[in-house]
Amino acid sequence: MNDVTPLQLRVAALPLRLRRRALRTLWLAQRVTRRLPARGVAPILRQTLRLPRAEASRLDAETAFSDDLYGLEWLSLVTRSHADIVADWQSVRFADPELIRRVASSGKPVILAPLHMGCFALPFARLIHDFFRDRRMLILRAREDRAVETRVMQRISEMGMEMRFLNVRDKQDYIDAIRFARTGSVIVSFVDLPASYGGPVETTLFGRPIRLAMGIDSLARLTEAAVLPLSITSDCAGDTVRCGQPFEVADSGPETKARVTSLVRRHIETSVLTAPAQWFMWPRLHEFLHEGGQA
């Protein structure tokens, strides 16, 4: 956090809607002065989503805003008091709370399967508080935590909701995840990762051939868990959590693999089309594409 400016700290300390509107105002000012940053993904958006050039350029600029908003929200969770964080999460909306409640009360282990979209830390804390009280949430990942992320996990745990990252890099880490799920922990496993993360399957995404990491079927089968696909979108008013179709995995046969792959693919496509600029994986799309689908 050494590179955080005093202005960023002041904005991060504001209530959720005020800080997000302040960030949006700055973004709009940059747009008017034509100094608007972008991530350089307009050609990818144009080709993949078949968009006009102007719309792809607009969404490219919006992806930069999503990046800035994501960073601001991590900083805010470090900066704001516990009471302020509780006030902020009143802006989290659940599109289908009854579905989440049914999955949470099913008596089965639970795997939440989100995408890399939106600002997830605050909605996840609200999920624990509202639906998974007294259950630990473990977010699987394959890279080391950043300092601000570790601090945020500590802040949320201080509020009585245990949330932490579980780095999964080898077989023993994977076995630990299975054990934690079976003993009541809620596992979070992101489903929009390229094949290099393991368990590669060939499928399509927006009509383009890709290779997708598909480890969630094995994890669900070994834990006998209910899998709930999620997506999170974020705007100046708050965050919205949407659910896909829950599923379970009873066996490792090819038909089951194909069924789960199809469910995951449709969930990714539906979620991304809801808010294309908020999918953080656009710059990495080339990692998904295999021969015949190169960018």
Query: C-alpha distances in angstroms, 187 versus 77, 97, 128, 236, 241?
Result: 21, 18, 12, 28, 17
Mean pLDDT value across the chain: 92
Any idea what the CATH number is for the domain that residue 97 is in?
3.40.1130
Q: What is the DSSP letter of 225?
A: P
Residue 112 lies in a domain: yes
3-state helix, strand, coil in the chain (%, to 5): 50, 20, 30
Predicted confidence band of residue 2 (pLDDT cuts 50, 70, 90): low
Contact (Cβ atoms closer than 8 angstroms) between residue 203 and residue 129: no
Q: What angle do CA 44, 232, 43 make, to 5 degrees?
A: 5
Residue 266 lies in a domain: yes
The full length of the chain comes to: 295
Contact (Cβ atoms closer than 8 angstroms) between residue 174 and residue 198: no
> Mean pLDDT lowest for which of 11-20, 35-44, 78-87?
35-44
pLDDT per residue as tens digits for the range 134-157: 999 999 987 777 888 999 999 999
Beta bridge mates, 115: none
Residue 61 lies in a domain: yes
Predicted confidence band of residue 34 (pLDDT cuts 50, 70, 90): low
Residue 295 lies in a domain: no
Residue 293 lies in a domain: no
Averaged pLDDT for residues 70-79: 96
Residue 222 lies in a domain: yes
Q: Closest Cα partner for 293 from 213, 196, 212, 210?
A: 210
Residue 122 lies in a domain: yes
Q: Closest Cα partner for 77 from 85, 69, 86?
A: 85
pLDDT at 292: 43
Judge whether residue 10 has pLDDT over 80.
yes
Cβ neighbour number for residue 216 with a 10 Å cutoff: 26
Contact (Cβ atoms closer than 8 angstroms) between residue 76 and residue 12: yes
Domain extent, residue 133, equals: 6-288
Measured distance CA(25)–CA(20) in Å, rounded: 9
Residue 294 lies in a domain: no
Torsion, Cα of 142, 146, 148, 153 (10° steps): 30
pLDDT at 295: 44
pLDDT per residue as tens digits for the range 268-287: 999 999 999 999 999 999 99
pLDDT per residue as tens digits for the range 101-121: 999 999 999 999 999 999 999
Instruction: Categorise residue 40: left if φ over 0, alpha if ψ from -120 to 50, beta otherwise.
Output: left
Beta bridge mates, 164: 138
User: What total number of domains does the chain contain?
Assistant: 1
Beta bridge mates, 201: 212
